[in-house]
């Protein structure tokens, strides 16, 4: 009978461990859904590499658009004036703005982001959710007073 009791106790312990693991998985999933994914996206969008790459792409796109608009305007003016080619006035003459734009896009997509490397390091670990929580703490965890600070309850006016 003691063998049966030991088996029953072991089964209860195994069940409790599985329930605990399942509850932890549910909590981890909920944190990822409510906080983690948004924090990851914010980190990528706020990365300095993202801003610099997007600025370059925007500048190259503006240049390509300006050249295309200028060339279209010149072609209309040439037809209207039946004059000679006056493209030499363009600052973009003999500049391949389209290839510069494509190169900027390729460079942007190939840029390595430090925050993504940190994410990769977290995701390689068995306790990746705990590491993500440390990397991207909740707002409540950052300021346990709920953002009240030292001047809680005052509006600054009398």
Following DSSP, what letter does each residue of 75-132 receive, concatenated? HHHHHHHT----GGG-TTTT--HHHHHHHHHHHHHHPPPHHHHHHHHHHTSTTHHHHH
Residue 68 neighbours by CB distance under 10 Å: 13
Instruction: Region of 111 please: left (phi>0), alpha (psi -120 to 50) or beta.
Output: beta
Higher pLDDT residue, 78 or 129?
A: 129
Higher pLDDT residue, 156 or 27?
A: 27
pTM flag (> 0.85): no
pLDDT tens-place string over residues 45-96: 888 888 888 888 888 888 887 777 777 776 666 655 665 555 555 666 667 7
Q: For position 158, what pLDDT does the model report?
A: 39
pLDDT tens-place string over residues 11-53: 888 988 898 888 888 988 888 888 888 888 888 888 888 888 8
pLDDT tens-place string over residues 117-127: 888 888 777 78
Q: For position 78, what pLDDT does the model report?
A: 62
Q: In this predicted structure, which of 71-80, 83-92, 105-114, 132-141 has the lowest mean pLDDT?
A: 83-92
* CA pair distance 95, 100, nearest whole angstrom: 9
């Amino acid at each position: 009978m003691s063998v049966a009791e030991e088996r029953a106790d072991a089964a209860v312990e195994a069940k409790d461990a599985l329930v605990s693991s399942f509850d932890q998985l549910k909590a981890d999933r909920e944190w990822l859904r409510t906080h983690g994914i948004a924090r990851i996206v914010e980190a990528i969008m706020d990365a300095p590499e993202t801003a610099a790459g997007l600025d370059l792409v925007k500048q190259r796109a503006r240049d390509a658009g300006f050249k295309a608009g200028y060339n279209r305007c010149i072609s209309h003016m040439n037809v209207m004036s039946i004059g000679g080619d006056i493209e030499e006035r363009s600052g973009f003459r003999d500049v391949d703005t389209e290839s510069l734009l494509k190169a900027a896009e390729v460079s942007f997509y190939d840029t390595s982001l430090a925050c993504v490397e940190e994410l990769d390091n977290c995701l390689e670990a068995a306790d990746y959710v705990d590491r993500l929580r440390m990397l991207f703490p909740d707002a409540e965890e950052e300021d346990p007073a709920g953002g009240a600070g030292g001047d809680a309850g005052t509006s600054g006016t009398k």
